[in-house]
Amino acid sequence: MKIIESTDAAQRHVRERTGKSVLVPTMGALHRGHLELIRVAREYAGRDGEVAVSIFVNPLQFEPGSDFEKYPRPESTDEKFCADAGVNLLFRPRDMYFEDRSVYVDETQLSAGLCGAARRGHFRGVCTVVAKLFNLLAPAAAVFGEKDYQQLAIIRRMARDLNFSIEIIGVPTVREADGLALSSRNQYLDTDERAAAPVLYQSMLRVKELADRGENSVSKLIDVARSVIASAKGARIDYISIVDAENLQPLETLRPNALIALAVFIGKTRLIDNLRLT
Ligand code: AMP
């Protein structure tokens, strides 16, 4: 596995590279969810293609007062994880931003609601760093998790609107046996919080059950999700929304393509999840 730590070296690598490259952008603290993205990337790249993983804890996408400082950075474990997973290139840049940077990528519609409303500037940071990674590594395709559904939708829109010739591939959410979506942030949870955390998935399953039985009032469905989450100790709802999965606009009545998305604090840890309802 080749490791590149500077943007110059990345551009040199791309000039000399032959064959197709598929990129998996991450912030590290790698887990089985990331492994599934790497597996899908290999499928697309083929045996002789390049699977590239980037690890960069992007300061631009952390709003003030969030967990940028304490975000886990297990460098050598992540390096071994990538080597064992058959990754060809690990890109962990030390020099992503110029101090006097003044250009950003802003998506202005899909990022208005959900996590974009709760975390001002977050998706601007995400789009800016992903656009830089796309330019630096020039992949044929890039793989993202549906766990961060809004992010995936925004990246698709960015690639479309800015004409990146990069195929965007979405991968279904990988979960623990009890339904909790894998996340690097799960390691912040103490024992009691970990026991409470599956309530996100349970609440969405309950909503899906009711939707499958014909309940189509979004406000009723959201009330049900709220009451399931209220039953878990230490859980505080940031938002629960039922939206159109294409344009992320809130719905009043269920119709095809509906998605429930939520963010819940378990103690101090903010977890997100989502599920297709129809
Ligand atoms: P992160 O390192 O948390 O920024 O995530 C990097 C990529 O992995 C993003 O595209 C995430 O959506 C994806 N990802 C994170 N957790 C999961 C999961 N449990 N299942 C599938 N994809 C995931």
Q: If you measure from the C-alpha of residue 170 to the centroid of ligand 1, how many angstroms do you get, rounded to a whole number? A: 10
**pLDDT for 123-133, tens place per residue?**
999 999 999 99
- The answer to whether residue 12 scores a pLDDT higher than 90 is yes
- The answer to whether residue 118 scores a pLDDT higher than 90 is no
According to DSSP, the residues that pair with 51 across neighbouring strands are 22
Cα 220 to Cα 210: distance, rounded to the nearest angstrom: 10
- The answer to whether residue 221 scores a pLDDT higher than 90 is yes
- 212 burial class (0-12, 13-18, 19+ CB within 10 angstroms)? exposed
Cα 127 to Cα 159: distance, rounded to the nearest angstrom: 10
Q: If you measure from the C-alpha of residue 215 to the centroid of ligand 1, how many angstroms do you get, rounded to a whole number? A: 31
pLDDT mean across residues, the chain: 97
Q: What is the pTM of this model?
A: 0.98
What residues act catalytically? 34
Three-state DSSP class for residue 128 = helix
Q: Sorting pLDDT into bands at 50, 70 and 90, what band is 260?
A: very high
Ligand 1 pocket residues where CB is under 6 Å: 26-27, 33-34, 36-37, 144-145, 147-148, 171, 173-174, 181-184
Cα 123 to Cα 116: distance, rounded to the nearest angstrom: 6
- The answer to whether residue 29 scores a pLDDT higher than 90 is yes
